[in-house]
């Protein structure tokens, strides 16, 4: 029943895109998923394409095929993969690692199609705003293109322009993803280890935020304010008079990529000072500001004169409030003390581990992991290797790592990789130690824990005040027999629907069998001499119709069993 209502919601103008998505998935070996969802027949996917997809699945691992399919489907699905790669509790490590390789470099749109968008956002001709504008893009991604330009006062800027028509395509894709998510909830309960509808909604919100460049500009301004007194970081200025939802004009920073070691050496820059500045940057933005750059790949970190770090591209950022920082510090202390039971308890307090988690199993795996690093100096511990060993534990125990935490972990891993290339002997823990100690002292002060304690005390006071009335109402319902316990389980609902469908088919089969038998007994007593009488016509046509219905029922049962 749901399949019919699901397809009834499809708008005809989306069918072409639906078929395109289904054909790409089938070609990359995911035809079985389409069959399970009932989309292969409804969208007329050729059987030869499904067979070719099976051959493809034998040549490449599933994770690689998934990445290639997402890249082929365009910007919405590329971003979907990038966001999904921050959810280690729902995807196995092999898929997470492959999604990290998603390529977002695509051929640029022709200048003739981009120019009208830029002028429409500026509200005037290009020549009235810029003294010079290079129509050849410096960079081209799935959502935007970046151009170099010159303001009338001689300031070099970069202009980030959204691709024409990308919003329309994303809106269509988001509607389709929402429909598929509802279909997965209905047809695959218990088989998908996450709420597909909830994830689709989160993804749609995140992607629509990324399409608004005013948000990225505000992030840049906040970073500039946070590091206003720092002489080792520079954040480009945003020209708000020219910046809109689909266009951003920003000061251009010219420097050397942080991983271009030959260029750094040729310029006479001190790699140790660069590593020191990078460490101070990450420690301040994480432990002090709680607002960090979550995409610090080498292309977004430029080394300017005097080893100053120039940060660009603030589309992806992370947030940590005081409670987050305190929880992470406590977890960090439990880990470096190799205290697995305390680490498990802290994970439960943080909501990362469910209270019903297998504590003994999780504690055993954490202890086994920590034992491998016992006795090693902190500077010899590789964050990359540690992350690779943590991912299977996260997936096995379904640890819900908040997206900001996961962004922080990935950020630290990227920075560690860059740091080891720039200055292999640099010890980031030596730099971060004083900051951690200051934060621990701050946690111990009443100004830190006092407000939370007062809130908790107020909550208990309210609970105790309401307890007599709540208890009285509960006992009254028990006495009147009106106490109900409601449990809702999608897997149980799905099983109930399947049982209902099976019972309906049994009833249909019994009724059809009775009609066939009754009509078969009636036919020998009819006068079959030509021309037939009205009663004879009714009996013969009725018998034929019943036989056709019986054959249809058999075919439907066979087809359903084949799909299962």
Tell me the per-residue pLDDT of 318-357, one tens digit each, with 9 for 90 and over. 999 988 988 888 888 888 788 999 999 999 999 999 989 9
Dist CA 183 CA 36 (whole Å):
10
Share of the chain above pLDDT 90, in %: 30
Q: What are phi and psi of 364, to 5 degrees?
A: -65, -45
Which residue(s) pair with 160 in the sheet? Answer: 146, 248
Q: What are phi and psi of 86, to 5 degrees?
A: -100, 10
At 101, list the tokens: 């390789």
Least confident of 82-86, 316-320, 560-564: 560-564
pLDDT of residue 239: 97
- Sequence-distant (6+) residues with CB within 8 A of 335 are 343, 370
Share of the chain above pLDDT 70, in %: 76
What average pLDDT does range 459-487 have in this prediction? 70
Catalytic: which of 109, 173, 262, 295?
Answer: 295
Dist CA 181 CA 192 (whole Å):
11
Q: Has 427 been annotated as catalytic?
A: no
pLDDT of residue 292: 92
Dist CA 401 CA 91 (whole Å):
12
Instruction: Output the 3-class SS for 184-240.
Output: HHHHCCCCCCCCHHHHHHHHHHHHHHHCCHHHHHHHHHHHHHHCCCCCCEECCCECC
Tens digits of residue pLDDT in 152-187: 999 999 999 999 989 999 999 998 888 888 888 877
Least confident of 84-93, 156-165, 303-312, 363-372: 84-93
1, 174 contact by CB (below 8 A) = no
SS3 105: strand
Reported as a pLDDT band with limits 50, 70 and 90, residue 504 is low
Dist CA 555 CA 276 (whole Å):
71
**pTM over the 0.85 mark:** no
Burial environment of residue 231 by CB neighbours within 10 A (0 to 12, 13 to 18, 19 or more): exposed
What average pLDDT does range 467-489 have in this prediction? 70
**CA 194 to each of CA 30, 91, 100, 456: distance values in angstroms, whole numbers, following the listed order:** 19, 10, 20, 32
What average pLDDT does range 532-551 have in this prediction? 72
- For residues 129 and 444, which has the higher predicted lDDT (pLDDT)? 129
Angle at which helices 322-336 and 446-480 cross, to 10°: 100
- Sequence-distant (6+) residues with CB within 8 A of 557 are 505
Burial environment of residue 40 by CB neighbours within 10 A (0 to 12, 13 to 18, 19 or more): buried
Look over the chain and give the mean of its residue pLDDT values, rounded to a whole number: 81
What DSSP line would sit under 426-443, residue for residue? --HHHHHHHHHHHHHHHH
**Whose CA is closest to 181, among 173, 397, 42?**
173
Q: What are phi and psi of 401, to 5 degrees?
A: -85, 115
- For residues 460 and 110, which has the higher predicted lDDT (pLDDT)? 110
- For residues 184 and 211, which has the higher predicted lDDT (pLDDT)? 211
R_g (Cα) of the chain, nearest Å: 31
The Cα angle at residue 555 between residues 551 and 559, in degrees rounded to 5: 175
- Sequence-distant (6+) residues with CB within 8 A of 270 are 307
- Sequence-distant (6+) residues with CB within 8 A of 313 are 216, 295, 299, 300
pLDDT(427) > 80 = no
At 218, list the tokens: 């505000």
249, 242 contact by CB (below 8 A) = yes
Dist CA 162 CA 108 (whole Å):
11
The end-to-end CA distance of the chain, in Å, is 17
Angle at which helices 534-563 and 490-522 cross, to 10°: 150
Q: Across 171-175, 186-190, 455-459, 472-476, which has the greatest mean pLDDT?
A: 171-175
């Amino acid at each position: 029943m749901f399949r019919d209502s699901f397809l009834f919601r499809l708008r005809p103008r989306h069918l072409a895109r639906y078929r395109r998505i289904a054909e790409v998935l089938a070609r990359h070996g995911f035809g079985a998923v389409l069959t399970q969802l009932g989309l292969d027949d409804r969208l007329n996917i050729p059987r030869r394409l499904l067979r070719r997809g099976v051959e493809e699945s034998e040549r490449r691992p599933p994770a690689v095929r998934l990445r290639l399919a997402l890249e082929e489907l365009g910007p919405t699905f590329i971003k979907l993969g990038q966001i999904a790669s921050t959810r280690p509790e729902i995807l196995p490590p092999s898929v997470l690692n492959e999604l990290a390789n998603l390529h977002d470099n695509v051929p640029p749109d022709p200048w003739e199609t981009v120019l009208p968008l830029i002028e429409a956002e500026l509200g005037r001709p290009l020549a009235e705003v810029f003294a010079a504008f290079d129509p050849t893009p410096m960079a081209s991604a799935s959502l935007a293109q970046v151009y170099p330009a010159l303001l009338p006062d001689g300031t070099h800027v970069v202009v980030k322009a959204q691709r024409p028509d990308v919003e329309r395509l994303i809106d269509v894709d988001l509607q389709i993803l929402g429909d598929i998510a509802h279909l997965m909830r209905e047809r695959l309960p218990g088989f998908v280890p996450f709420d597909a509808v909830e994830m689709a909604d989160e993804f749609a919100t995140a992607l629509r935020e990324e399409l608004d460049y005013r948000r990225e500009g505000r992030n840049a301004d906040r970073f500039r304010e946070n590091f206003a007194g720092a002489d080792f970081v520079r954040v480009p200025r945003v020209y708000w008079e020219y910046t809109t939802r689909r266009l951003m004009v920003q000061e251009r920073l010219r420097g050397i990529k942080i991983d271009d070691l030959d260029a750094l050496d040729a310029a006479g820059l001190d790699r140790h000072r660069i590593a020191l500045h990078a460490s101070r940057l990450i420690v301040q933005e994480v432990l002090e500001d709680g607002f960090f750059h979550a995409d610090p790949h080498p292309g977004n970190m430029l080394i300017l004169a005097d080893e100053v770090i120039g940060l660009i591209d603030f589309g992806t950022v992370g947030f940590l409030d005081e409670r987050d920082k305190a929880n992470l510090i406590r977890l960090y202390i439990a880990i470096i003390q190799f205290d697995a039971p305390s680490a498990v308890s802290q994970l439960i307090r943080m909501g990362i581990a469910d209270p019903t988690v297998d504590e003994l199993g999780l504690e055993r795996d954490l202890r086994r992991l920590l034992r491998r690093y016992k006795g090693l100096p902190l500077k010899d511990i590789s964050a990359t290797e540690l992350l690779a060993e943590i991912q299977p534990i996260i997936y096995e125990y379904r640890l819900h790592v908040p997206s900001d935490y996961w962004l922080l972990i990935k950020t630290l891993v990227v920075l560690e990789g860059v740091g080891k290339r720039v200055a292999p002997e640099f010890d980031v823990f030596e730099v971060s130690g004083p900051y951690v100690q200051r934060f621990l002292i701050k946690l111990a002060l009443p100004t830190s824990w006092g407000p939370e304690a007062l809130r908790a005390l107020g909550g208990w006071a309210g609970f105790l005040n309401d307890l007599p009335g709540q208890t009285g109402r509960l006992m009254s319902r028990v006495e009147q027999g009106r106490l109900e316990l409601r449990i809702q389980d999608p897997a149980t609902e799905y099983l109930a629907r399947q049982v209902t469908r099976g019972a309906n088919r049994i009833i249909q089969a019994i009724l059809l069998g009775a009609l066939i038998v009754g009509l078969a007994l009636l036919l020998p007593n009819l006068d079959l001499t030509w021309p037939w009488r009205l009663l004879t016509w009714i009996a013969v046509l009725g018998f034929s119709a019943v036989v056709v219905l019986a054959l249809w029922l058999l075919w439907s049962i066979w087809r359903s069993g084949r799909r299962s």
